[in-house]
Copies of this chain bind each other. A is one copy, B any other.
Amino acid sequence: MSRFAPLPEPPYYAVIFASQAAPSDSTSDDYGATAARMVALAAQQPGYLGVESTRDASGFGITVSYWRDEASIAAWKADLEHAAVRDAGRERFYERYTLRVAKVERAYGWSR
């Protein structure tokens, strides 16, 4: 499965999530299971377009999810806020994070 998200025609939205994992849980099976569940939940949401995610050995990660419009993000956020999985993630897995919502205006890809 490709690590790259699709490249739909803009405009659409990106949620840019940068995070520093807490030392104890950053590479745990529990973290991996929770992250996988979050992606599975997102993929069921209307307007979900894809996700790209990576994290280095120091525990610094960036995940970008892509959404059709702001309503899709709002619905996902409302769902998240009531989901134990997100609250558990924040308290257990992260030292710090930032989240930015951005409207993608243009995009392109290149491959060898």
Contacts and interface: CB of A to CB of B under 8 A. Distances in A.
Chain copies in the assembled complex: 2
Interface of A: 3-5, 7, 10, 13-14, 16, 18, 20, 22, 52-58, 60-62, 64, 90, 94-112
Contacts of A101: 104-107
Contacts of A99: 107-109
A96 B4 CA distance: 9
B108 A104 contact: no
B60 A62 contact: no
Interface of A is mostly: strand
A7 to B, nearest CB: 6
A20 B3 CA distance: 8
Contact of A3 (B4, B13, B60, B111): B60
